[in-house]
Amino acid sequence: MTDLWSLYSEKVMEHFKNPRNVGEIENPDGVGRVGDPICGDVMELYIKVKDGVIVDVKFRTFGCAAAVATSSMVTEMVKGKSVEEALKISNKAVVEALDGLPPAKVHCSVLAEDALKAAIENYLGHQKLKKQT
């Protein structure tokens, strides 16, 4: 029972109300699933990669408004970026793009960064396997 959400920025609220890129991608090139329902947040991120560029990205999130908004923002930020560029996106950058988060909610942005990294690692793992065969 917390009133922390009253401190959310307008941008966070906007992304919470109208999250971008919700859903999943069929036959994705990379999938990242992080978090734990027991802790109250789970994030799933799908990417489609063409010539080293993330051409499509989708997410599903179980969590608070900060978790939803950071998921939404991170998908906006990676779309059209190369895999290398996307790997450099930090949770700090996501938080800044949302005009900040209440301090107690910053851990939610770490989850978004982790989901992105997990999806890219998953993609890179597939690539390695392809090269080997």
Partner 1 sequence: MRRIYLDHAATTPTRPEVVKAMLPYFTDAFGNPSSIYSYGQEARGAVEEARTRVAELIGARSEEIIFTGGGTEADNHALKGVAYANERKGNHIITTSIEHHAVLEVCEFLGRRGFRITYLPVDEYGLVDLDDIKRAITDKTILISVMNANNEVGTIEPVEEIGKIAREAGVYFHTDAVQTVGHIPVNVDKLKVDLLAISAHKFYGPKGVGALYVRKGTELVSFIHGGGQEKGRRASTENVPAIVGLGKAVELAGQEMGKEAERQAYLRDRLIKGLVEKIDHIRVNGHPTERLPNNVNLSVDFVEGESLLLSLDLEGICASTGSACGLASPEPSHVLLALGIPPEQAHGSLRFTLGRENVEADVERVLEVLPGIVARLRAMSPLLKTKK
Looking at beta carbons only, is 62 or 127 nearer to partner 1? 62
User: x-or-dash pattern for partner 1, window 57-76, by CB under 8 A?
Assistant: --xxxxxxxxxx--------
Residues marked as catalytic: 39, 108
Q: Is 25 in the site for partner 1 (CB under 8 A)?
A: no
Query: Which of 11, 22, 53, 127 contacts partner 1 by CB under 8 A?
Result: 22
- What is the nearest approach in angstroms of partner 1 to the Cβ of residue 104? 4
Q: Quick one: tokens of 73?
A: 């923002």
Q: How many helices (H) and strands (E) are present in the chain, helices listed first?
A: 5, 3
Q: Is 37 in the site for partner 1 (CB under 8 A)?
A: yes
Q: How far apart are the C-alpha atoms of 47 and 31, rounded to whole Å?
A: 6
Q: Is 5 in the site for partner 1 (CB under 8 A)?
A: yes
Coil/strand/helix, residue 53:
strand
Instruction: Report the amino acid identity of residue 120.
Output: I
Looking at beta carbons only, is 43 or 74 nearer to partner 1? 43
Query: According to DSSP H, which parts of the chain are helical?
Result: 10-17, 65-78, 83-87, 91-97, 106-132
β partners of residue 30: 47
β partners of residue 61: 43
Interacting residues toward partner 1 by CB under 8 A? 1-2, 4-5, 16-17, 19, 22-24, 33, 37-44, 59-68, 102, 104-105, 108
